[in-house]
């Protein structure tokens, strides 16, 4: 049932793009649904296209965080860190982006930087997990993220 809903969401986003090839939100929705369905490499292009089509969207920090995780799970750790850094520049005190920064830095063995992001997280209010759906669908990704956060010394 869960993957069926994601497949329908992917089809809906693809249909929206066919109807309006310059519809930024259609590309961003396609990126989100592909990432949530575990297709990280396939999510990168739609995220990038949506961000190019609407570079001033006030929600770009959310899309950039999604792009960062897509790059991360596609094996592009440096590109993931670059996308997360762009998200952080838009909204510096958002816990999900700080977590993504810590994950990327820890994966790149930049542990001191990862710990600095964890220290910032400790001073912020906890917010709902924006990628809970992705983690539920891809528990191995959730485990990888948790492992990197432990490496950066983020307590549970």
Q: What's the pLDDT at 7?
A: 87
Q: Read off the pLDDT band of 153 (50, 70, 90).
A: confident
Distances (CA, A) of 150 to 17, 146, 153: 39, 6, 5
Model pLDDT, residue 1: 42
By mean pLDDT, which of 7-16, 73-82, 121-130 is the weakest? 121-130
Kindly tell me if the per-residue pLDDT of 29 is higher than 80: yes
The predicted pLDDT at position 12 comes to 92
Residue entry with tokens 């924006």: 130
Q: Is the pLDDT of residue 156 over 70?
A: no
Mean pLDDT of the chain: 93
Asked if residue 34 lies in contact with residue 43, where contact means CB atoms within 8 angstroms, the answer is yes
Average of pLDDT values for 2-24?
Answer: 89
DSSP state of 20: -
CA-nearest of 83, 91, 89 to 124 is 91
Inform me whether the pLDDT recorded for 80 exceeds 60: yes
Which one has a higher pLDDT value, 122 or 83?
83
pTM of the model: 0.93
**How many CB atoms are closer than 10 A to CB 122?**
10
Over residues 108-127, the mean pLDDT reads: 93
Asked whether residue 2 carries a pLDDT value surpassing 60, the answer given is no
Query: How far is the C-alpha of 48 from the C-alpha of 132, rounded, in Å?
Result: 22
DSSP 149: H
Domains of the chain listed by start with CATH number? 2-151 (1.25.40.10)
Q: Which token pair is 10? A: 């992917």
- Mean pLDDT for 96-124 is 95
């Amino acid at each position: 049932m869960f993957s069926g809903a994601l497949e329908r969401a992917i089809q809906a986003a693809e249909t929206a793009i066919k109807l309006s090839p310059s519809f930024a939100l259609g590309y961003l929705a396609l990126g989100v649904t592909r990432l949530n369905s575990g297709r990280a490499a396939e999510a990168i292009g739609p995220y990038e296209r949506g961000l190019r089509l609407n570079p001033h969207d006030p929600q770009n920090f959310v899309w950039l965080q999604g792009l960062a995780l897509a790059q991360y799970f596609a094996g592009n750790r440096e590109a993931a860190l670059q996308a997360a850094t762009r998200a952080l520049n838009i909204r510096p005190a958002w816990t999900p982006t700080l977590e993504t920064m810590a994950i990327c830095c820890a994966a790149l063995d930049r542990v001191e930087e990862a710990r600095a992001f964890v220290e910032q997280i400790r001073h912020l209010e906890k917010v709902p997990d924006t990628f809970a759906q992705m983690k539920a669908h891809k528990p191995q990704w959730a485990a990888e993220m948790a492992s990197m956060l432990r490496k950066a010394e983020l307590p549970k």
